[in-house]
Amino acid sequence: MMHCSAFAVFLGEGAKERLQKSLPRVERHRRRVLASNDGADFGEPSELREAELAIAVLFLDGDGGLPAVHGPLFNGRENPSGEFSFLDLEEGSILAGRDLLGTRPLYASRDGKSLASDHRFLSSSQEERLLLPPGTSYRASDASVKTRLLGMVNTPDSMASAASELAGLIESSVRRRVEGERLVAVSFSGGLDSSIVAFCAARHSDVILCGVYSHGSRDEKQSRSIAEKLGLPMVSRALTPQDIRRFSASSQTSSSEATSSTCGRWRREESSRRRR
């Protein structure tokens, strides 16, 4: 199974042209193109051919072949968290689907001739694409898309039971991520989300919080204040104008990239210190 950051399928007449139009919108990704004139053979990459029912598939940042999943890997296991949109072949036809909770997207063009897990592959007009419902799969046969229901998520009886179930899921997810690790670095802003993750992680491993801030912002004091209330150590870094220009030029989010850099630098320093 291939894990990728996105996939797209272009069906029917004009598939090659629609693929080519989409490329500039996703040009920063590494691409792999597979093509078939009958929808049955995606074994090896080949050049697109003009055909009435040409099917072109574009994968991003992944290796391998079908089936392909747009979703996370966890310790080498196949997506136990249930977040995915998938692409596969079934009986000579393309089959795509979306998880029950809708945590990963899956779009279709209104004419049913294009599918993608990243909206940038399709027309930039909101009216030209549809976000397909969660919990459904789509079979593309004869340049059309058919829908079948995979299932539905049972809604909680009350807000209290929903909160309890959510807390249990978060706790279980974080525990699986950090269990067995002696020391874990957590990207930390002092907000609710990162505080919950840090709190849960600290119940199963030693934790160091890593954060970034810009001079004069409230993030610096807030993150340190919340870290103290959680009783967890923290390392942080101030963003400079040069950092922001550099991260913006590379199309990355400044805070997430800088936080990752801060965590990485701390891990290297900590590893060096322990070897002394």
Q: In the 8-state DSSP scheme, what is residue 241?
A: H
**276: which 2 tokens?**
């002394």
Task: Please tell me the least confidently modeled range out of 2-6, 203-207, 209-213.
Answer: 2-6
Give 191-227 as a 3 state SS string.
CHHHHHHHHHHCCCCEEEEEEEEECCCCHHHHHHHHH
The CATH code of domain 159-275 reads: 3.40.50.620
Task: Please tell me the least confidently modeled range out of 35-49, 89-103, 146-160, 236-250.
Answer: 35-49
Q: Is 60 helix (H, G, I), strand (E, B) or coil?
A: strand
Which pLDDT score, from 0 to 100, does residue 52 have? 40
Cβ contact 185:210 at 8 Å: yes
Q: What is the phi-psi region of residue 176: left when phi exceeds 0, alpha when psi lies from -120 to 50, beta otherwise? A: alpha
Which pLDDT score, from 0 to 100, does residue 204 have? 93
Cβ contact 106:95 at 8 Å: no
Cβ contact 190:223 at 8 Å: yes
pLDDT, mean of residues 97-105: 84
Q: Which pLDDT tens digit goes with each residue over 216-241? A: 778 778 889 999 999 999 988 887 77
* Mean of all residue pLDDT scores within the chain: 74
pLDDT, mean of residues 28-35: 60
Q: Which pLDDT tens digit goes with each residue over 177-192? A: 898 888 898 989 899 9
pLDDT, mean of residues 59-86: 63
Q: In angstroms, rounded to a whole number, what is the distance separating the alpha carbons of residues 93 and 23?
A: 24
Q: Using N-to-C axis directions, what is the helix angle for 192-201 and 219-230, rounded to 10°?
A: 30
Q: How far is CA 199 from the centre of its chain?
A: 24
**243: which 2 tokens?**
């950092």
pTM for the model: 0.54
Which pLDDT score, from 0 to 100, does residue 119 have? 86
Q: In angstroms, rounded to a whole number, what is the distance separating the alpha carbons of residues 30 and 33?
A: 10
Which pLDDT score, from 0 to 100, does residue 20 have? 78
CB atoms within 10 A of CB 174: 22
Domain ranges of the chain: 2-149, 159-275
